[in-house]
Amino acid sequence: MTELNLFEPSGMSGWSLALASHSGAHVITISARLFAVSVLQVALRPDPVLIHSGAGTQRPQPEH
């Protein structure tokens, strides 16, 4: 839900993209989610030391 502080700017962004005035909130939401996903992909990548050492790549051996 768009707060009152973002209602007018979202309407302006929708208008500048030749969309309906209230669809600008969706544009802001989609762009914020894409930004969040890109930050998570960069910040939560695997630890390079663990990858280099091979930790976590070995399968546990079944016990007989």
pLDDT in tens, the chain (64 residues): 555 676 677 777 777 778 777 787 788 888 889 999 999 888 877 777 777 776 656 666 777 6
Q: How far apart are CA 40 and CA 36, in angstroms?
A: 6
**Does residue 39 lie within any of the structural domains?**
yes
Q: Tell me, what's the pLDDT at 45? A: 75
Q: How far apart are CA 52 and CA 48, in angstroms?
A: 6
Q: Tell me, what's the pLDDT at 8? A: 72
**Domain encompassing residue 41:** 4-46
Name the residue with tokens 């839900």.
1
Q: Tell me, what's the pLDDT at 35? A: 94
**Does residue 62 lie within any of the structural domains?**
no
**Does residue 11 lie within any of the structural domains?**
yes
Q: Tell me, what's the pLDDT at 36? A: 92
The DSSP output letter for 2 is -
Q: Tell me, what's the pLDDT at 38? A: 93
**Count: domains in the chain:** 1
